[in-house]
């Protein structure tokens, strides 16, 4: 897999060839594109944890979806306002940009070092599969000692794009990636417009792992 250069990213963004077309919208300034990556901005929607409603998160539990709904909530922080991230707090955010990758590209989301030096981690599950369409969910964690103010539309992450070679990945399901990023052909068109709750509990293997499956 080769990393896409600035020139190739620009070519992909403005090509009229639909099979090669890369969409990153809105791309406010070409200065967001540097050698080998594209800067991404923070979106306005977040999923926060209601700490007073903590309960055990057991993905094998049958009513885990209700549990998640009870202890997390979606909030909207409009442009020009801020959200404070406390030390050791995890919130889910998303990129402002809506992204659509062609079938022959995949990507990695990584943090920007200037934010990292403040203690901010932006993604732990970083793989973006070929054909993915939607905003990217970011797992924002403050590992520093001080509160960090997060502003929607601030440049917060980078997307490194790779050309996928060989035929194994294109058009099919890929396993092993973060749920929501690597999808079957149908879902890859069904783009998210904000951060999404974890869907870990939908993995079929939990029935086996928890001993509920009659086949065990």
User: Which chain residues interact with another protein by CB under 8 A?
Assistant: 14, 23, 25-30, 44, 75-81, 96, 98, 100, 133, 135, 152-153, 186, 189-191, 193-194
CA angle 94, 97, 101 (to 5 degrees): 105
Give the shortest CB-14-to-another protein separation in angstroms: 8
Q: How far apart are CA 128 and CA 108, in angstroms?
A: 6
Nearer to another protein, 6 or 207 (CB): 6
For residues 27 and 97, is the Cβ–Cβ distance under 8 A?
yes
The total of other beta-carbon atoms located within 10 Å of residue 175's CB is: 5
Q: Of the listed 20, 45, 73, 139, which one is catalytic?
A: 139
Nearer to another protein, 95 or 158 (CB): 95
Nearer to another protein, 54 or 79 (CB): 79
Active site residue 139: yes
Give the shortest CB-165-to-another protein separation in angstroms: 26
Residue identified by tokens 């889910």 is: 92
SS3 for 126?
Answer: coil
Q: Among all residues, which ones are annotated catalytic?
A: 139
């Amino acid at each position: 897999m080769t990393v896409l250069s600035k020139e190739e990213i620009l070519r992909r963004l403005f090509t009229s060839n639909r099979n090669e077309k890369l969409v990153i919208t809105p791309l406010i300034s070409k200065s967001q594109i540097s050698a080998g990556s594209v800067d991404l901005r923070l979106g306005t929607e977040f999923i926060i944890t209601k700490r007073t409603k903590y309960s055990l998160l057991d993905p094998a539990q049958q009513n885990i979806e209700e549990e998640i709904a009870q202890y997390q909530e979606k909030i909207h922080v409009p442009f020009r306002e801020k959200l404070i991230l406390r030390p050791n707090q995890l919130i889910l955010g998303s990129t402002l940009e809506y992204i659509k990758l062609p079938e022959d590209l995949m990507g990695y989301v990584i943090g920007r070092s200037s934010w990292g030096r403040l203690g901010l981690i932006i993604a732990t599950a970083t793989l973006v599969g070929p054909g993915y369409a939607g905003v990217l969910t970011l797992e924002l964690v403050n590992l520093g000692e001080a509160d960090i103010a997060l502003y929607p539309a601030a440049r917060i992450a980078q997307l490194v794009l790779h050309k996928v070679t060989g035929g194994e990945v294109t058009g099919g399901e890929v396993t092993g990636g973060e749920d929501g990023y690597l999808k079957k052909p149908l879902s890859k068109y069904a783009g998210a417009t904000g951060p999404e709750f974890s869907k870990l509990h939908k993995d079929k293997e939990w029935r086996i792992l928890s001993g509920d499956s009659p086949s065990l």
